[in-house]
Structure 1
Amino acid sequence: MPIEEPPEDAPDAYRDLIGQYRQISYLNDGSGVLGWDQQVMMPTGGTPARAKQLSALSAVTHDLLTADEFEAALQAAEDAVDDLDQGQRAAVREIRRSYDRTANVPGELVQDLSETTTQSQQIWQDAKAADDFEQFAPRLETLKELSNRRATHISPDQPTYEVLYEDSEPYLPLERTEEIFDRLKDELVPLIDEITEHGDELASPFAGGDYPEENQEALSEAALDRIGYDRDHGRLDASAHPFTSGNQFDARVTTRYKPNDPIDALTATIHEYGHASYMLGLPREKYGTPLGASLSSGVHESQSRFWENHVGRTEPFWEFFLPTVKEHLDGLDDVTVQEAYEAVNRIYPNNLIRVEADELTYHLHIILRCEIDRAYVEGDLDVEDIPDRWNQTMEEYLGVTPDTDAEGCLQDIHWTSRFAGFQGYTIGSVLAAQLDAAMRTDVSDVDGKIRNGNFQPMRDWMNENVHAHGQTYPTDELAEEATGEPLTADYFLDYVNEKFTDLYGL
């Protein structure tokens, strides 16, 4: 479907605003391609030039968004709000939000932050490889200082951490997110303890093997093909940290491979496919406008967690996909569906790495990060104390202490680009369970469809109920449109209690 202009009967003020905003969106997407290239294809020596390129682009987009001409167009569209339909009003609302979060931030600060962020990714990667937090700490201090200055310019009377949180989760108050976190911590910790103390021993048929990267890559490619990844609009590559980048025309995914753990790459690939499915499901004709853009970090994560956990970790999926695994990986001929299903759902409380965490302890990893993140941003934790605080909190929540910074506070790339962004992972898991429950009332025999490799009905349901709306609805309204009620943790807790009680024979 071609990219469309606003309808001819839309007010001229709205048409003018959308025309200007689209140019800004296109520049941002160009920056996204350069960022993808840095993490996937660019030689490490290219960082100084790439930092300057992205800094220059950020300056251009900042100037366009804060120009008098753009402000006048936005005000004119707001003055014509009574003549706009629901989607058009939502587009203006979102453009206003972007403008308000940019107008008072100096262009020089925007450039400095962009350049520092780009440089920091390589510094983080080198520090992690060297297991040397001190190498990264000065850059982390600079990132915090720049981010806090930006937050003060955006909203000087609002707590800094809350301003930064709203970058990725604008419509779910931080207080409400923390209430969800408290409830999850209260209910997941006893469940994990019960599994650890009294649960059955689950199979681990993939442990102890050696799986060449080229075989794992072929398996990940096969998984994407079986699920239905659109190769005309995407690709798979390897990166230091799995991620997805792009838009509804070009949604690229990455994964990473561990020689002794093929499940890590496979589940990461399916997870990133979920992100790509959201991007590719956005209305193509609305590209460059808020109606053709994803809503928030939490909603994005709901799509990746749905495909990873509610599809890729189910027994029906392994009935369907285990033969493909055996085609690509040696030494697994005798593995049964039940063994594979148990293996991908084992609980590993002593696991140190978030992206390798199981479905339950994963959220303790997230809560740990959010607490440390907030304490650091708000000045209650000095940078040199982060490794010790990280290790102490991991011991408290998970009963394990990292031996190295690479396994501890250096394991995630996220601080190189933003603070207050980890909440979306858990919010996404909560929303994914709620969406899954609603889908199963609308779509008949979901498990049977998964078992037969028929994933199109699930994709269609997500397209209709989530993707097609773009940024039309705030988070709670989107959840209510899709499921009939605002966001709630009930479905997630019911889902994990039922699933893991059954798996572990409790």
Structure 2
Amino acid sequence: MATDHARAEDEDEGEALEAYERLERRVEKISNVGNAAGVLQWDQEVVMPEAGTPARAKQLSTLSSISHELLTDDETGDLLEELESDEDLDDEQRAVVREVRRQYDRATSVPEELVAELSETTANAHPVWKEAKEADDFESFAPTLEKLVDLKREYAECIDPDADPYEVLFADYEPYIDLETAERVLERLRDELVPLIDAVGESEAVLETEAFAGEFDDDDQEALARDVLDSLGYDWSRGRLDTAPHPFSSGTQFDARVTTRFEEDDLLGSITSTIHEFGHANYTIGLPDEHYGTPLGEARDLSVHESQSRLWENHVGRSRPFWEHFLPIAAERFPELEDVTPEEAYESANQVYDDNLIRVEADELTYHLHIVIRFEIERDLIRGDLEVEDVPEVWNDKYEEYLGVRPETDAEGCLQDIHWSHGSFGYFPTYSLGSVLAAQLYAAAEDELGDLDEDVRNADFDRLNGWLRENVHQPGKRYETQELIERATGEELTADHFLEYVSEKYGELYGLDREAGA
């Protein structure tokens, strides 16, 4: 009897394993179709001929349809139902089932025709946005934006007709941090950063702001960008560097590409942009090779992804020790920097200026007001509280209210970001959530490893990267976001560390403590 019972248990376990393996193979196929689409999207934004858009849109639409069909097939649902009731799965397998279930439920709610239309519309939207930005002509982009807003509303209604449509879209990018938490973080940043920014503006401290002034050749800037990536330890065997109008990183742990941009009068911008995208690529490369094609080998959504780019850009790339290391390298490429001191480079890299219109050029403090503006506008668009035709005026009004500046052109205003042309409504809050998490992770790493300044000064990132690999990268999607954060830092997501970090850093730079006590 005992032997028969054990044999039955073994057979049941074998059947469950077979079902899990069938699900895993199906998920890997879906992942590979998506990754192929990712390469085509990278190509479209980096090297594709201008006339290639009509064919590329259809190619991406076809791949999107294939992926959707595979995910929503009855067999996927049957496998999930079978596996969810099985007690023999280990924790990693249960995590895969959880993540696929979430994707399946959302995908089966959306008709295939809508998926294909969204894919083709966003592919066609990219060149329309690009031309509109270059021509400073919002009206030429408005019909496309209106169509995207309508399609995303329809998409949200398919998933949950009773929910706030913006909350549904936000969950596409951050499924395990609710919108209420995101709003609370954004409100706290707005409320506590505004007085800090005001205090900085009233400070009598004189910082060096022209350390990187001049005109710098694009080819030399590219060589310096490669120096930056070398210093940080970028794995060139798994990546490459290119340029794009709006820098981005994409790919898998085997092929994580970086793009940046060069402007002859903004050397610092190309450096920080390159470091930022390195952070994304470094996370992607750090995902476990053995789990490629499954959720265990994928990044834990956008807030965590953004935490990695902001950690490297701000906590490393804008630090004193980094400039003590990297300034001599930059001066070898650009002799005009030979008389600049590391302190002057540090001050220039951390100046606060509230008269800046461009998000990607913003400092650490005002950056979050840029995010709040975009968040409020896209939320109102999706909820139907704002008409597309009114976006430029509302955008300009909010810039004047929050930052005291008013864009003179739509190219510097509501056309500056690429995200809406991708249909990425709900994406922007993850930038601020990522900055908050970056500070929390860096504080936790230093609590465990000790002060990291000397490591940064020597461009020795083995300890920091090792900690990130173990606590953030290697888990993939095994844990939900809040559990991942708690395991890495010992506490839930909190803005405390970010606010403490910027208060200390900018208080010291601008002498705020001394002035307060004077």
TM-score, normalization: structure 2? 0.95
Correspondence 1:150 to 2:155? yes
Distance 1:349 1:100, change over 3 A: same
- Asked if the contact 1:205/1:335 (under 8 Å) is kept, the reply is no
- Asked if the contact 1:17/1:77 (under 8 Å) is kept, the reply is no
Counterpart of 1:138 in structure 2 is 143
For residues 109 and 450 of structure 2, the distance between their equivalents in structure 1, rounded to whole angstroms, comes to 51
For residues 214 and 368 of structure 2, the distance between their equivalents in structure 1, rounded to whole angstroms, comes to 28
Counterpart of 1:3 in structure 2 is none
Counterpart of 2:10 in structure 1 is none
Q: How does 1:249-398 map to 2 (within 5 A)?
A: 249-398=254-403
Counterpart of 1:486 in structure 2 is 492
Correspondence 1:73 to 2:79? yes
- Asked if the contact 1:480/1:486 (under 8 Å) is kept, the reply is yes
Tell me how far 1:331 sits from its aligned partner. Answer: 1.1
For residues 484 and 74 of structure 2, the distance between their equivalents in structure 1, rounded to whole angstroms, comes to 33
State which of 438, 449, 456 in structure 1 corresponds to 2:455.
449
Counterpart of 1:23 in structure 2 is 29
Counterpart of 1:41 in structure 2 is 47
SS at match of 2:250: strand
- Asked if the contact 2:212/2:337 (under 8 Å) is kept, the reply is no
Letter in 1 for 2:324: E
For residues 291 and 16 of structure 2, the distance between their equivalents in structure 1, rounded to whole angstroms, comes to 15
Distance 1:445 1:198, change over 3 A: closer
The one-character-per-residue Cα deviations of 1:263-295 (angstroms, maximum 9, x if unpaired) are 101100000000001100001100010111011
- Asked if the contact 2:250/2:258 (under 8 Å) is kept, the reply is yes
- Asked if the contact 1:29/1:246 (under 8 Å) is kept, the reply is yes
Correspondence 1:238 to 2:239? no
Letter in 1 for 2:401: E
Letter in 1 for 2:478: T
Q: How does 1:187-198 map to 2 (within 5 A)?
A: 187-198=192-203
Tell me how far 1:132 sits from its aligned partner. Answer: 0.4
Tell me how far 1:199 sits from its aligned partner. Answer: 4.4
- Asked if the contact 1:26/1:288 (under 8 Å) is kept, the reply is yes
Tell me how far 1:197 sits from its aligned partner. Answer: 1.0
Tell me how far 1:74 sits from its aligned partner. Answer: 1.6
Letter in 1 for 2:352: I
Tell me how far 1:9 sits from its aligned partner. Answer: 10
SS at match of 1:83: coil
Tell me how far 1:444 sits from its aligned partner. Answer: 3.0
- Asked if the contact 1:213/1:258 (under 8 Å) is kept, the reply is yes
Please, which moves more after superposition, 65-74 or 411-420? Answer: 65-74
- Asked if the contact 2:166/2:426 (under 8 Å) is kept, the reply is yes
Tell me how far 1:206 sits from its aligned partner. Answer: 3.5
Letter in 1 for 2:27: Y
Please, which moves more after superposition, 29-38 or 472-481? Answer: 472-481
Letter in 2 for 1:133: F
Counterpart of 2:436 in structure 1 is 430
Correspondence 1:94 to 2:110? no
- Asked if the contact 1:206/1:261 (under 8 Å) is kept, the reply is no
Q: Structure 2 unaligned segments of length 5 or more: list them.
A: 1-12, 513-518
SS at match of 2:259: strand
Counterpart of 1:121 in structure 2 is 126
For residues 295 and 10 of structure 1, the distance between their equivalents in structure 2, rounded to whole angstroms, comes to 26
For residues 123 and 195 of structure 2, the distance between their equivalents in structure 1, rounded to whole angstroms, comes to 41
Correspondence 1:175 to 2:160? no
Tell me how far 1:489 sits from its aligned partner. Answer: 0.4
Pairwise CA RMSD: 1.2
Tell me how far 1:474 sits from its aligned partner. Answer: 1.2
- Asked if the contact 1:161/1:374 (under 8 Å) is kept, the reply is yes
State which of 49, 55, 59 in structure 1 corresponds to 2:65.
59
For residues 352 and 9 of structure 1, the distance between their equivalents in structure 2, rounded to whole angstroms, comes to 59
- Asked if the contact 2:16/2:83 (under 8 Å) is kept, the reply is no
Letter in 1 for 2:330: V
For residues 76 and 432 of structure 1, the distance between their equivalents in structure 2, rounded to whole angstroms, comes to 39
SS at match of 1:253: strand
Q: How does 1:159-238 map to 2 (within 5 A)?
A: 159-238=164-243
Letter in 2 for 1:281: G
- Asked if the contact 2:485/2:492 (under 8 Å) is kept, the reply is yes
The one-character-per-residue Cα deviations of 1:49-103 (angstroms, maximum 9, x if unpaired) are 00000000011111111111221112112122x1111111111000000001100
For residues 65 and 210 of structure 2, the distance between their equivalents in structure 1, rounded to whole angstroms, comes to 52
- Asked if the contact 1:311/1:317 (under 8 Å) is kept, the reply is yes
Counterpart of 2:115 in structure 1 is 110
For residues 8 and 259 of structure 1, the distance between their equivalents in structure 2, rounded to whole angstroms, comes to 63
Counterpart of 1:403 in structure 2 is 408
For residues 484 and 48 of structure 2, the distance between their equivalents in structure 1, rounded to whole angstroms, comes to 38
For residues 220 and 394 of structure 2, the distance between their equivalents in structure 1, rounded to whole angstroms, comes to 39
Distance 1:140 1:472, change over 3 A: same
For residues 14 and 492 of structure 2, the distance between their equivalents in structure 1, rounded to whole angstroms, comes to 35
- Asked if the contact 2:380/2:386 (under 8 Å) is kept, the reply is yes
- Asked if the contact 2:185/2:495 (under 8 Å) is kept, the reply is yes
For residues 89 and 67 of structure 2, the distance between their equivalents in structure 1, rounded to whole angstroms, comes to 26
Letter in 2 for 1:98: Q
For residues 252 and 371 of structure 2, the distance between their equivalents in structure 1, rounded to whole angstroms, comes to 26
Counterpart of 1:412 in structure 2 is 417
The one-character-per-residue Cα deviations of 1:84-141 (angstroms, maximum 9, x if unpaired) are 1111111100000000110021111111000000010110000000000001000000
State which of 499, 503, 509 in structure 2 corresponds to 1:503.
509
- Asked if the contact 1:206/1:262 (under 8 Å) is kept, the reply is no
Letter in 2 for 1:424: T
Q: Across the two proteins, how many residue pairs are aligned to each other?
A: 499
Tell me how far 1:30 sits from its aligned partner. Answer: 0.3
Which protein has the larger Cα radius of gyration, Structure 1 or Structure 2? 2
- Asked if the contact 1:192/1:360 (under 8 Å) is kept, the reply is yes
The one-character-per-residue Cα deviations of 1:15-71 (angstroms, maximum 9, x if unpaired) are 111111110000000000000000001011100000000000011111111111221
Distance 1:333 1:312, change over 3 A: same
